[in-house]
Amino acid sequence: MVIADVMGEDDGSSFVRPLKEEIAEVGEALQHSQVGDFTAASVGVTALAAYVGHATRARGYRFLADTARAYSAQPPDAWDGVIEMVDK
């Protein structure tokens, strides 16, 4: 399952600039995670969670930060970039 967050339309307005920056920062953190650099991924999404103005996205960033910290402490045996959620 792929989860996406529709953040807005790029209409060239000044409102869009912070969203584009946030999207770029998320992409960078996810790239760190994808290659197994969980410390850098955790730092990136922790920073996002601290200043993002949208509560739902902040919760998602905290989840990703917690997961990256856990993987830093105990890396998965065979990391394929997929976070398997087993609890609801």
Could you read off the pLDDT of 22-52 as tens digits, one per residue? 889 999 999 999 999 999 999 999 998 888 7
CB 62 within 8 A of CB 51: no
pLDDT for residue 1 is more than 60: no
SS3 state at 32: helix
DSSP character at residue 75 = -
CA distance 55 to 75: 29
Beta-strand runs (E) in the chain? none
At position 63, the amino acid (one-letter code) is: F
